[in-house]
Amino acid sequence: MKTKRAILVVDDDRAHRTMLRTLLSGWGYLIHEADDGETAIAAVHNQPFDLILMDIRMLKVSGLEALVEIKAFNPAIPVIIMTAHASLETAVEAVKKGAYDYLPKPLDFDELRLKMERAMEHRQLKEENVLLKESLGSRFDRRNLIGNSPVMVRLLDTVAQVAPSEATVLITGESGTGKEMIAGAIHFNSWRREGPFVKINCAAITETLLESELFGHEKGAFTGADRRKEGKFRQADGGTIFLDEVSEMSLSMQVKLLRVLQEREITRVGGTFR
C-alpha cells in the first residue's frame, strides 16, 4: 500500500485551514495543521513532512520567520508560501530565503495542485541525485581501488595528487584495465565532485558527428541543425569530462581538441569560439 504524503498546512485562519484540509485530503494527502509559525517549527522538529503550505502573515510568528527556522533545521523540505496580493514583495523575499514558490490568495486550486506536485517531484529528484552521487562516490573511492603492488601504489598516489588540480590527465592502459574507474576516482576525489561526470566514447561516434557532440553546433550549421546544441564540454562545465578511446580520433579532431585543452576555449560547429 502506498504511503500518503504528509502535508503541513500553516495558517492562523481556521476556516482557511479547514478548507485546505478538505481539499488536500480529497487529493489523497495526509494533512497536519499548525495555527502559527511557532507551532509549525515545533511540528517540523517532531516529525517529517513531504511539503509545507504556509501563510506568510500570522499574528505570533510570521511565515517568513518560520521559513528561516525550518530551512535551518531541514533545508530539504519544500515550502510553498501563501500570500495576499498586497504581500507579493514579501513572498518574493521568502523565495530568496528558500521557499520553493508562492501562491496568491485566494488560491487557484489547479495552480496549487500543480505547484505542490512539482515541489515534491523536485525534492525527490534532488534526493535521488544525492543518493546516486553517494553511490558513485563510494564506487570510485580510492579505497575501493584494490592493489598493493608498487605500480598500483604509485597510481593511487598519482590519483591523490591530480584530483585536486586543474590538470588535464591522460590515462593509458589496455582494454579492461579500469581506465574509467581511475577517471571516476579522480572526479569524485576532486572539488568538482558535485558537478557532472560526463563520459563519451570517441570510437563509437563517426568523425562527422563527434565534433558536434564534443563542441556543440549553431542553428543552421549543417543540414538538420534546426537549433543550437551545447556539446559535451559545456555539459561537463564545473565537473569532469572523460574522453574514452581518444586515440581513435582523427588527426584533425585531435588538433581541435588540443586547442580546447590548451586555450580552454570551444568553438561550436558553425560558430565562434567561447
pLDDT at 114 over 90: yes
Give the residue from 21, 120, 114, 31 showing the smallest Cα distance to 77: 120
In a domain, 140, yes or no: no
C-alpha cell at 25: 485530503
One domain, residues 72 and 186: no
Helical (H) or strand (E) element with 270: none
One domain, residues 28 and 123: yes
In a domain, 14, yes or no: yes
One domain, residues 18 and 131: yes
pLDDT at 249 over 90: no
C-alpha cell at 262: 590548451
Q: Which CATH number goes with the domain that contains 215?
A: 3.40.50.300
The Cα 91–Cα 208 span in angstroms is 50
138 pLDDT band, cuts 50/70/90, is: low
**pLDDT digit string (tens) for 19-57?**
999 999 999 999 999 999 999 999 999 888 999 999 988
One domain, residues 268 and 227: yes
> For the chain, what's the residue count?
274
Model confidence, pTM = 0.50
Q: Given this model, what pLDDT does residue 80 score?
A: 94
pLDDT at 274 over 50: no
In a domain, 1, yes or no: no
Q: Given this model, what pLDDT does residue 139 score?
A: 53
One domain, residues 209 and 274: yes
- Domain residues for the domain of 254 are 195-274
Residue 10 pairs in a beta bridge with 34, 54
The Cα 101–Cα 79 span in angstroms is 7
How many domains, the chain? 3
The more confident residue out of 186 and 132 is 186
**pLDDT digit string (tens) for 142-178?**
555 555 677 777 777 788 788 888 888 899 888 877 8
One domain, residues 149 and 124: no
**Which whole number is the average pLDDT over 114-132?**
75
pLDDT at 195 over 80: yes
The more confident residue out of 105 and 84 is 105
Give the residue from 249, 233, 262 showing the smallest Cα distance to 201: 249
Give the residue from 116, 129, 189, 130 showing the smallest Cα distance to 157: 189
**pLDDT digit string (tens) for 59-74?**
788 888 999 999 888 8
One domain, residues 200 and 162: no
One domain, residues 261 and 172: no
In a domain, 42, yes or no: yes
One domain, residues 72 and 89: yes
**Which whole number is the average pLDDT over 214-223?**
78
In a domain, 50, yes or no: yes
One domain, residues 129 and 228: no
Tell me if residue 7 falls in helix, strand or coil: strand
Place of cell 589496455: 174
Place of cell 512539482: 118
Q: How many other CB atoms are there within 10 angstroms of residue 43's CB atom?
A: 17
The Cα 126–Cα 124 span in angstroms is 5
Is 90:83 a contact under the CB 8 Å cutoff?
yes
Q: Which CATH number goes with the domain that contains 15?
A: 3.40.50.2300
Q: Given this model, what pLDDT does residue 226 score?
A: 72
Choose the final residue of a domain: 157, 173, 190.
190
Choose the final residue of a domain: 190, 208, 225.
190
H helix intervals, the chain: 14-26, 37-46, 63-73, 88-96, 109-139, 150-162, 179-188, 207-215, 232-235, 251-263
One domain, residues 37 and 119: yes
The Cα 251–Cα 267 span in angstroms is 17
The Cα 10–Cα 70 span in angstroms is 12
| Separation of CA 247 from chain center | 32
One domain, residues 216 and 151: no
